[in-house]
Amino acid sequence: MNKTQKEPTNSVHARRAIAYVVLVILSFLCLFWFAILFVNATRSHGELTKGFTLIPSTHLPENWSGLIHGTLPVLNGLINSVVVAGSAAILCTYFSTMTAYAIHAYDFKLKKFFFTFILAIMMIPAQVTSLGFLQLIQKMKLEDNLIPLILPAIAAPVTFFYMKQYMDSTLSLSLVEAARIDGAGEFKIFNNIVLPLMKPAIAVQAIFTFVSSWNNYFIPALILHKDKMKTLPVLIAQLRSADFLKFDMGQVYMMIAFSIFPVIVVYLILSRYIVAGVALGGVKE
């Protein structure tokens, strides 16, 4: 092997080594804060006031017992959050994919207008429409109800845009035409052909939508007033705002750590579809 052949090989190894070093550093920075969170969940309020440490303590059962048997309905909050975030993730990804399929597969006069209009909605912050939304909820008498937290999630311009871009690169219209020639109906084509091809994109957006809905505090704090109907973010804020006689930082960390586990489970379930989609996309004829 001559010198010119060795130089590209050395360059590839150097870039790969740099990439691994950067990935290790980023992974450490991401996981370090989770480690601190779980360590703090094992410490008492008195220990937390003394300062920072990476050594776990022995107060995990005490914090858990105080959290579960406290005044806040934590398990009800978990169920409410799972219902809201799970329903929002399913409905958002399904109908956003359906909308993207309609724009992608059909030709009609106002196609470009509707595409631009949907994208323009992304520019409107949720805080701008929150007052009108709250008034509508009050007139419909849907306060202390989970429905207003689920149904608006169906209209997600960001998810639609991602699905549309992914569909442009993966879904061939000839495949749709072939299915129509074979006599398949539109809903059958969408459910049996389009959705399986979109699994990686659906998995990604389901994770993002689930996490976004799970962490949502602004709207639930406006419309949920009864403790048994509140979601975990609202209960965490309520626990943090307790007076100094009842305030326990150990329980706060315990509740935050407790609220993260469902998100981790959802990611572990859906991540295999992302990996499978990447592997499938890497196979070329």
Looking at the predicted structure, is the pLDDT value of residue 6 above 60?
no
pLDDT one-digit tens code per residue, 236-263 = 888 877 666 667 788 888 888 888 888 8
Indicate the DSSP class of residue 55: S
pLDDT one-digit tens code per residue, 151-176 = 888 888 889 988 988 888 888 888 88
Does pTM top 0.85 for this prediction?
no
Percent of the chain whose predicted confidence (pLDDT) is above 90 = 11
Calpha distance 242→230 (Å, rounded): 16
Looking at the predicted structure, is the pLDDT value of residue 60 above 80?
yes
- Report the range of poorest mean pLDDT among 75-79, 212-216, 279-283: 279-283
Residue spans of the domains in the chain: they are 3-60, 62-281
* pLDDT computed for residue 171 by the predictor: 81
What does 58-117 look like in DSSP terms, one character per residue? Answer: S-HHHHHHHHHTSSS-HHHHHHHHHHHHHHHHHHHHHHHHHHHHHHHH---TTHHHHHHH
Calpha distance 170→283 (Å, rounded): 13
* pLDDT computed for residue 79 by the predictor: 92
Q: Where are the alpha helices (DSSP H) in the chain?
A: 3-40, 45-50, 60-68, 74-105, 111-121, 126-139, 147-150, 157-170, 173-181, 186-189, 195-197, 199-214, 218-223, 232-240, 249-281
Question: 62-281 — its CATH code?
Answer: 1.10.3720.10
* pLDDT computed for residue 281 by the predictor: 44
Residue 83 tokens read as 């219902």
Residue 97 tokens read as 């994919």
When pLDDT is averaged across residues 259-284 and rounded to a whole number, the result is 69
Residue 284 tokens read as 């070329």
For the chain, give the mean pLDDT: 84
